[in-house]
Chain A
């Protein structure tokens, strides 16, 4: 049984189609990256899943239960970090975490203390004085102190410095080690690449790609750069080579498909050096977006 099972999710706001038929599964113990630029429909999908907003069409299940009819029981196993956390101004971070702990009833005090210390959160500070990063820390402590079986994290590292982003990745790794599934919504490709087992890429409310991070990288164009002893030859006839740019003795291009035609062509013109860079998710992301009409 999938922990998260979304089928044919549609959400319209009047004439605006925020989500247009999304299917999504999250299995126990896996980290799924939910990628897309701002406005792609990530937060809308998550809010439908958590029953904050009601779908126009489609079915949503958490732990096998309909999120509308059995949402309370299902959310007992879910902890959530919203994209933008607004907190009552007068309460301190510690008081807010106390309230969350009492509402959930499944929080681990030792884990709370550990995560609070690792993120460097001062629990005595009033919420109104907290920076964006510190508010994010409150939400992260609130999520990671629970014994939830699913963490839904919406842009969880925005506002955190690189050191804390590493702490966050460690926390996700530890949660995964405990068997907790993670749905990680982000527009940061590097974050998903470092953290997720699988990624689902959204654009304009639709899924444009899904697969393991390696599979998505496999669909991406590799960056190719070759240096020659004389003026760079014309390689435009090589299948799979795009964005070709000649710069004196250098050739820059992007390459997709089987490498044999490229290697044969390069061997024939005897370059001084060739660099074919491993594509990262950012390349895959760009490729996907360029291939899909909006």
Chain B
């Protein structure tokens, strides 16, 4: 039963997953291709010299001449985790709220299976999609590093990509609780992307204002990516906290979905 549900869900999002994987691969490959130019140009740090220190830190571009600083500033401080959060939100919205809004749930949920099984299979599929997307990101980054001679510790890169994946899973969870509450695809997508964007703003921009620094601790984005994972070892709680939030949101989504009417055309 679960296999049938997961296979059906995977078939529904395989094109979308492929599109996200190709887009991220292109972004990573092209961005990394610029590394030799930054490495060989000692003036590359001068461009940010005149910018406010807080803003430079917020954008993660403090040290573009080191391999870690280059990757962090150009990919992993914002764009890769944000795109992965968008991918997770898009995939789960397609599998849940959009399918329900389109009326596809009616025939499925009148079969001998529980709502919990149906929703859990979809969340599980989206989770697997994000884990494999993270794996694809890691492989593409390692391959690009090898091609463009970007020397970086594999374990730290793997940790960073894992934390990006966990950030995306929090978005999947936010999407799931919203889809559990309402069959509106726009609301589910907005919740998933919104928690990522809000997390980045709280984590990177709020500390620029005096007295607002502690707001970053509210952001799952900061829990995962706030510890400079490319340059320092990551504390275990930075993995566990977003994971726990995702599990809590998933549990709440299952409870909410079991309590409401299912939309039918």
Q: Is the pair A80, B112 in contact by a Cβ cutoff of 8 Å?
A: no
Q: Is the pair B103, A73 in contact by a Cβ cutoff of 8 Å?
A: no
Choose among B8, B103, B114, B261 the residue that contacts A84 (Cβ–Cβ < 8 A).
B103
Q: Is the pair B265, A84 in contact by a Cβ cutoff of 8 Å?
A: yes
Interchain CA distance A51-B261 in the complex, whole Å: 8
In the complex with contacts A86-B103, A87-B104, A54-B112 CB distance below 8 A? no
Q: Is the pair B106, A103 in contact by a Cβ cutoff of 8 Å?
A: no
How many chain B residues touch A (CB < 8 A): the figure is: 25
Q: Is the pair A86, B110 in contact by a Cβ cutoff of 8 Å?
A: no
B49 proximity list for chain A (CB < 8 A): none
Asked if A172 CB lies within 8 Å of chain B CBs, one says: no
Asked if B47 CB lies within 8 Å of chain A CBs, one says: no
A-B residue pair count with CB separations less than 8 angstroms? 71
Q: Is the pair B1, A103 in contact by a Cβ cutoff of 8 Å?
A: yes
A99 proximity list for chain B (CB < 8 A): 4, 8
Choose among B111, B259, B261 the residue that contacts A104 (Cβ–Cβ < 8 A).
B111
A90 proximity list for chain B (CB < 8 A): 11
Choose among A43, A86, A88, A102 the residue that contacts B12 (Cβ–Cβ < 8 A).
A88
Q: Is the pair A103, B112 in contact by a Cβ cutoff of 8 Å?
A: yes
Asked if B155 CB lies within 8 Å of chain A CBs, one says: no
In the complex with contacts A54-B261, A99-B8, A103-B1, A72-B103 CB distance below 8 A? no
Q: Is the pair B262, A139 in contact by a Cβ cutoff of 8 Å?
A: no
Q: Is the pair B111, A100 in contact by a Cβ cutoff of 8 Å?
A: yes
Q: Is the pair A104, B107 in contact by a Cβ cutoff of 8 Å?
A: no
Asked if A126 CB lies within 8 Å of chain B CBs, one says: no
Interface string of A120-155 (1 = CB under 8 A from B): 000000000000000000010010000000000000
Interchain CA distance A50-B264 in the complex, whole Å: 12
A139 proximity list for chain B (CB < 8 A): 107
Interchain CA distance A100-B4 in the complex, whole Å: 9
Asked if A85 CB lies within 8 Å of chain B CBs, one says: yes
Smallest CB separation, B262 vs chain A (Å): 5
Smallest CB separation, B111 vs chain A (Å): 4
Asked if B248 CB lies within 8 Å of chain A CBs, one says: no
Interchain CA distance A80-B109 in the complex, whole Å: 10
Asked if A176 CB lies within 8 Å of chain B CBs, one says: no
Asked if B209 CB lies within 8 Å of chain A CBs, one says: no
Choose among A75, A88, A142 the residue that contacts B112 (Cβ–Cβ < 8 A).
A75
Asked if A241 CB lies within 8 Å of chain B CBs, one says: no
Interface string of A45-66 (1 = CB under 8 A from B): 0010011111000000000000
B5 proximity list for chain A (CB < 8 A): 103
Q: Is the pair B109, A52 in contact by a Cβ cutoff of 8 Å?
A: yes
Q: Is the pair A103, B113 in contact by a Cβ cutoff of 8 Å?
A: yes
Interface residues of B in 129-158 (CB under 8 A from A): none
B8 proximity list for chain A (CB < 8 A): 99
Interface residues of A (CB under 8 A from B): 43, 47, 50-54, 71-73, 75-76, 78, 80, 82, 84-88, 90-91, 99-100, 102-105, 139, 142
In the complex, besides A53-B262, A105-B1, 7 extra interface pairs with C-beta distance below 8 angstroms are: A50-B109, A72-B112, A84-B103, A86-B103, A86-B265, A87-B107, A88-B104
Interface residues of B (CB under 8 A from A): 1, 4-5, 8, 11-12, 99, 102-104, 106-114, 259-262, 264-265
The 10 A-B residue pairs with the shortest CB-CB distance in the complex, in nearest-first order: A86-B103, A53-B261, A76-B112, A80-B110, A103-B111, A102-B4, A75-B112, A52-B262, A50-B110, A84-B265
